[in-house]
Amino acid sequence: MSVLENFNPTKTQTESTRGRNRRSKTAVNYREVQESDDGLDDEDMSQQRDNGNGQIVDGLSAGAENISPQRKIGNIKRKKRSRKTGSLNKKQKTSTKSSADLYGPLPISQTTQSWLQNMSCQRLRQLPQCQSCIIRQASLGSCRFNGFRLFDSQNGKPINVDQYAFASLEDAHEIVFEPSFTTDPSDDSRSYAMRIIAPFFHDVLMQELKHEQQSTIIRRPREKGIRPLCDTCATTIFSGFWFCYVCGKEFCLDCYDEWDESCIEKYHENLQRCSRRRKHRKEHLIPLTRFKSKEISELLTRVCEIEKIPLTPVVLQKSLNFQQADQWTAPVVQVPVDILSESDFRSFWRQGVPFMLHNVGKGFKLNWDADYFIQHYGKTECYLVNCQTGADIQATVQEFFENFKEGIFRGKTQNLKLKDWPPTEDFSTAFPDLFEDFQQALPFPSYTRRTGYYNLNSRFPPDYLVPDLGPKMYIAYPSSDDIGGKGTTNLHLDMTDAINIMVHAVENPDKKGCAVWDIFSALDTDKIRRFLLEKFPKMNCDDPIHRQQHYLTTDQLKELSYEYGVQSYRMYQNPGDAVFIPAGCAHQVCNLSSCIKVACDFVSPENVSRCAVLTDESRRLAKDGKREDVLQLKNILYFAWKQMDRESRR
């Protein structure tokens, strides 16, 4: 039996991002938890644990606090009783958060029989409870120890319940998913995609390899139907993580590496907090990985081989038409959809520059207008957003669309939008006819369709909670980008590449277009942040772009251009126009007339590194208002690489 160091993290709060995290009975569920009688004051993430049998790893920990676990438990219980009777003195209160309250090692004796916990802690009240069971979340499949924790047994029942270990398991079979692609892949297309993503995937694997080299590593299989998140930063846990053997919380590798135990900031206090007022310490955490033995080294060998292949330089075969909206804006590529080949698109896309395609609308067969939605979905309940105040309004689809042309709702001219429709249900399920129409009309389908070869998300196995990258509809009444105007969509950053097609709009002959876009180069993001923080110092915001707090008026855009040297790619969109936004490009939108737009995200090889930067920025946001990582970039890369590598060996 091997020696094990024990402990783990804290799950943090998050706000739903664009309704993209479709829930299921086994999906992650975050909720804020107030301090209970058990001293738990953390965010909870419920997740389902599969059962299994495997190698037994004992629960001994070197470097414990030299206090027996039984005596510690007794001390905690006595202090709790004293606190309830008001007899706990000041010195005792201080000691409740001292190192003496750290949960020490829980040794399991070496026996030939062990009992694997195969149900929630709630159903086994005599056992130490995980954090999810303490706050009664096990009914959602959230027990952290189910199918994982081992006890000595006698007559088929657990004994010595204060002493336990954990099972180390490996996947018995390779996770194999063979998708059908829009077009048949060639050796060149596969080699190109693998060569582009290899450097970033190499860095990911090196971090995982360092973690795997812990002498006490425990292996757990990848689990279907769940998306485990770090209890501190809400980032998806890819493979390696650190686990608290007392409360069951989990730390991602980045949070563990950044954790400074001498720091007294609130962020680190939340990270240190265990159940029953105990504190986590780094040396008391258990290292876990979802990689099988030797899997990382095998992947790294192949990645290093691919990295040696020279990457062809960017060569654009055609001269493109650039148009400049104003002197203070950057020239924009605007071309008809028939002009650019997919090869031209690939070369241009590697430069990370947004652009517009005209005449995309001719690929649609259905009439995406207000009458269509009233006829087919008029009685459907929906939520509208007031772009001026941010307030939500409950209504029916018919109420929203019946005066769509005039922009009037319930007798008043209002700036309303129906955002991210459908909010939670998959577009293909909610609107199957519209979904098919949209997919068939998408330009450069190898990138933009769900089944596109260069859309890395197309290889994500359906049993593992595929990231929902759309499509979504964005439908809004007209707004204003003048002084005092709030626009339609505030300045923000999307986590992936995106395409946005205007499928219908009310004619507006007095304007240059039906919607105006301002998109910025990814290289200018930090300058824009500095401009916003200096321009609006009283907002007291950690990241004004990710928090989506501002819409920049024309005067502010001019100031940004003249004083900071940052020009927007300004585009005027009309029905049939498609706007391409590379990952990492901050952008804002103002509808100049009532518009219906449809957008979807995709993960192209060319912009993986930018997606990684955005994921890291999101996880670094302050605890309050943290957003879940619904993209799962590292999982996308893992499944994409495995599929392409299998394909290359045939």
Alpha-helix runs per DSSP H in 45-151: 69-85, 90-95, 131-134
- Partners of 572 in the beta sheet? 516
Q: Sign of dihedral through CA atoms 369, 370, 374, 379? A: positive
Q: What average pLDDT does range 571-594 have in this prediction? A: 97
Task: Calculate the average pLDDT of the chain.
Answer: 81
- The 10s digit of each residue's pLDDT in 539-571 is 778 899 999 999 999 999 999 999 999 999 999
**Domains parsed from the chain with CATH numbers:** 29-65+102-170+185-303 (no CATH), 322-604 (2.60.120.650)
Q: How much of the chain, in percent, has pLDDT values that exceed 90?
A: 53
User: By CB neighbour count within 10 A (0-12 exposed, 13-18 middle, 19+ buried), where does 190 fall?
Assistant: middle
Q: Is the pLDDT assigned to residue 478 strictly greater than 50?
A: yes
What is the maximum span of the chain, computed from C-alpha positions, in angstroms?
A: 84
Q: Is the pLDDT assigned to residue 634 strictly greater than 60?
A: yes
Query: In this predicted structure, what is the pLDDT of residue 516?
Result: 97
- The 10s digit of each residue's pLDDT in 1-12 is 332 333 232 333
Query: Quick one: which H or E segment has residue 153?
Result: strand 149-154
> At residue 7, what are phi and psi to the nearest 5 degrees?
145, -170
Query: In this predicted structure, what is the pLDDT of residue 642?
Result: 97
- The 10s digit of each residue's pLDDT in 236-252 is 999 999 999 888 999 99
Q: What average pLDDT does range 297-303 have in this prediction? A: 98
C-beta pairs of 382-385 under 8 Å, 24+ apart in sequence: 382/418, 382/421, 383/418, 383/423, 384/409, 384/416, 384/417, 384/418, 385/416, 385/417, 385/418, 385/419
Query: In this predicted structure, what is the pLDDT of residue 214?
Result: 92
DSSP secondary-structure letter at 631? S
**Count of alpha carbons within 13 angstroms of residue 92, beta-carbon side:** 13
CA–centroid distance for 147 within its chain = 26
Is residue 461 reached through a cis peptide bond, with omega within 30 degrees of 0 on the bond before it?
Answer: no
**Secondary structure (3-state) at 337:** coil
Query: In this predicted structure, what is the pLDDT of residue 186?
Result: 87
Q: What average pLDDT does range 167-186 have in this prediction? A: 83
Q: Is the pLDDT assigned to residue 23 strictly greater than 70?
A: no
Where is pLDDT greater, at 316 or 189?
189
Query: In this predicted structure, what is the pLDDT of residue 385?
Result: 92
| pLDDT tier at 266, thresholds 50, 70, 90 | low
Where is pLDDT greater, at 234 or 499?
499
Query: In this predicted structure, what is the pLDDT of residue 37?
Result: 34
Query: In this predicted structure, what is the pLDDT of residue 317?
Result: 60
CB-based contact 636:465 (threshold 8 Å) = no
- Partners of 289 in the beta sheet? 219
* DSSP string over 448-511: HSTT-TT-GGGGS-GGG-------EEEEE-----STT---SEEEE--SSEEEEEEEEE---TTS
Q: How far is CA 395 from CA 430, 462, 632, in A?
A: 18, 34, 33
| pLDDT tier at 41, thresholds 50, 70, 90 | very low
Q: State the Cα angle at 291 between 286 and 295, rounded to 5°.
A: 135
